[in-house]
Chains A and B, each alone.
Chain A
Amino acid sequence: MLEGLIIGFQTALSLKMLIVVIGGCLIGTFIGMLPGLGPMSIIAIMIPVAISMGDPAAALILLAGVYYGAIFGGSTSSILLNAPGVAGTVATSFDGFPMTQQGKAGKALTIAAIASFCGGTIGAILLMVFAPMLSSVALLFHSAEYFALMVVGLSAIAAFAGKGQVAKAVLMTVVGLIMATVGEGALFNFPRFTMGLMDLQSGFGFITLAMAMFALPEALFLVLHPKQISNSEQGDIKNLKITRAEAWAIAPVIGRQSIQGFFIGVLPGAGATIASFLGYAVERNIAPKNEQGQFGKGSIKGLAAPETANNAACTGSFVPLLTLGIPGSGTTAILLGALIALNVSPGPRMMVDEPQIFWAVIISMYIGNLVLLVLNLPLIPYIAKVLSVPRNYLIPFIMFFTLMGAYIGQNNATELLLLVGFGIFATALKFANYPLAPLLIGFILGGMLEDNFSRSMQLYDGISFIWERPMTLMLLIIAAILIILPSWRSNFGRKSHS
């Protein structure tokens, strides 16, 4: 591990990488502050830039910096405007916005920044400890176990989708997997479902799909339903100081939520949103009776808990990506897509074959968190000016960057028409509350899932690998339980209720 850390520091502390991580954090904060634009959209927009850099380590560090910056920026708009840019920062607004209304906007931003810094940093330490352990176990896996593990990952994403959403999430995953089969697969060299169109020979573009699923529907929602933005209640934004007593009060909250948030983030499909809500609920429940009433009215503990948890969860979500090559969330799925485009396959071999990327990403997480605390926090009053950009200018630019992302990614104008088509369909899916992230995760994992399935079939001359390899069988049983249990409980609950 020590050798890896040295490699990581050498790569991440080069001038180029420092500029990349600082730039990524600033861009992420800047755009993440805009209500309606979540980290997934921002990362999707930034992918062409990252890929054009040609260096996988720099690309992943840039995107990770953008990710952290976007979460931080989302917290800022939650605190200042009560307009969370992303679901993971909704819980931040419960106590952050009341603090702004009480004229403590600067204090709230400082607490959020410190909590984010600690959550992210403790998360990075835990990642450093657990990722190599998981990688060494995963090296023992064969293609059959990989296939089963991916099925577990996809099932978990559906299982954690929430009440009334499991079947929809499964359907979205299957649709993503179906879309991944379009075109000439590497394994068969045989055109499938191309309908004779040359443009579909290489399949659907990942960037086009990412833009269509996240950036375009969010931009259309901003057009349809402009969010009320008011700068009148920001209070004393420039006073960033917190007292010693306040620091002591939030310290145990930060400690608990860093660990809890990290482990929730590791679970596929759980992620920052569940971590932040759970963190808030846990801290409210264990708080002394006289402090419980303060939650929702500007409690500093209520603000620190979700902020710590969501950042630790973001770091945790890198564990399955870096060690198993399986994305646990929409954001890490987009990162995986970017890495594949750069000919890097995350997984247990990554730590052995590409240690400079693996460790540089981990080290850049420390640096990214430090950048957010040291550089971004004092700049917040100035960065917040972005909120005054008129909607009439902002929306055309978001749409234009969406179009550019798809065009640069494939250099094909047909992609733009596909983008609009998929974007309209994704908006309709959003109207009906269909989760969109499983579709993209299914699409990205589809190729790998089929490859591993096909290899196992060839090795065992059929599907006997399912029962001949106990680990595969166990993982597939877990996957089945993950899918069936929520639906069964939901229906059982309905019957017993009636």
Chain B
Amino acid sequence: MTLERWISLIFLGIILTYGYTAWFAMDSNMAPFMKRNPIWPSTFPKLLSLLGIIVSLFILLGFEKDDQRRAEIDYRRLGDYKIGQAVGLLAMMIVYALTLRSLGFLISTASFLILSAFILGERKWLVLVPVGVVASFCVWYLVSEVLNIYMRPWPHTLLF
């Protein structure tokens, strides 16, 4: 089965769950006076679930003529591409999301920029570290001082 059909199968699963909630679970929480309205909170989701199921099945069962265009990257040969670097960067993004509050903006951002460049193969530490640190500080200054959006610069323990 091709990737596009696998994806339509995943969508079908998601839409079936969504549809089940809309058709059978959602209305039970509704206040009695709302039930007198011609439109309920579940009406539109019910329509969408029906449409979604039909279209997912249309793709899954191969009714549409195959797309002749090839994607920029052939997923069947992922090993030929720099998949390790991509996974490493995604992991860095998750770590950044989890540490942004606890480590503060400056340490987490500088670490993210430096380590991401390291994952991509950069080894010139004398350039990399100053670029990461200066860029983090500049962005923090712009966001906090110019755009007036507060971001804690340092970890909790460094605040007196």
Tell me if B82 and A396 are in contact (CB < 8 A).
no
**A221 CB within 8 Å of chain B:** yes
**A392 CB within 8 Å of chain B:** yes
B144 to A: closest C-beta gap in Å: 11
Tell me if A393 and B41 are in contact (CB < 8 A).
no
Q: What residues of A have a CB within 8 angstroms of the CB of B96 in the complex?
A: 403, 416
Tell me if B81 and A400 are in contact (CB < 8 A).
no
The size class of the interface chain A forms with chain B is 35 or more
Q: What residues of B have a CB within 8 angstroms of the CB of A392 in the complex?
A: 117, 120-122
**C-alpha spacing A224/B71, complex, angstroms:** 13
Q: What residues of A have a CB within 8 angstroms of the CB of B7 in the complex?
A: 428-429, 432, 434
Tell me if A403 and B97 are in contact (CB < 8 A).
yes
Q: What residues of A have a CB within 8 angstroms of the CB of B67 in the complex?
A: 163-165, 168, 433
- Interface residues on chain B, number (Cβ under 8 Å): 73
B18, B113, B120, B122 — most chain A CB neighbours (10 Å): B120
| Residue interface mask B58-73, A partner, CB < 8 A = 1 | 1100011111111111
A393-B117, A407-B100 in contact; A178/B143 too (CB < 8 A)? no
Tell me if B69 and A185 are in contact (CB < 8 A).
no
Residues of B1-58 at the interface with A, using a CB-CB cut-off of 8 Å, are 2-4, 6-8, 11, 15, 18, 21, 26, 29-30, 34, 37-39, 41-45, 48-49, 51-52, 55-56, 58
Output the nearest chain B residue to A393 by Cβ-Cβ distance. Answer: B117
**C-alpha spacing A434/B6, complex, angstroms:** 12
Tell me if B4 and A411 are in contact (CB < 8 A).
no
A277 to B: closest C-beta gap in Å: 14
Tell me if A408 and B149 are in contact (CB < 8 A).
yes
**B112 CB within 8 Å of chain A:** yes
Stretch at the interface among A19-27, A232-240, A452-460: A452-460
Q: What are 5 A-B residue pairs whose CB atoms fall within 8 Å in the complex?
A: A48-B147, A171-B55, A224-B82, A404-B139, A433-B69
On B, residues with C-beta under 8 Å from A are 2-4, 6-8, 11, 15, 18, 21, 26, 29-30, 34, 37-39, 41-45, 48-49, 51-52, 55-56, 58-59, 63-73, 75, 78, 81-83, 85-86, 89-90, 92-94, 96-98, 100-101, 109, 112-113, 116-117, 120-122, 131, 135, 139, 143, 147-149
On A, residues with C-beta under 8 Å from B are 48-49, 52, 162-168, 170-171, 174-175, 177-178, 181, 185, 188, 190, 192-193, 220-221, 223-226, 390-393, 395-397, 399-400, 403-404, 407-408, 411, 413, 416-417, 419-420, 423-424, 428-434, 450, 453-454, 457-458, 461-462, 487, 490-491, 493-494
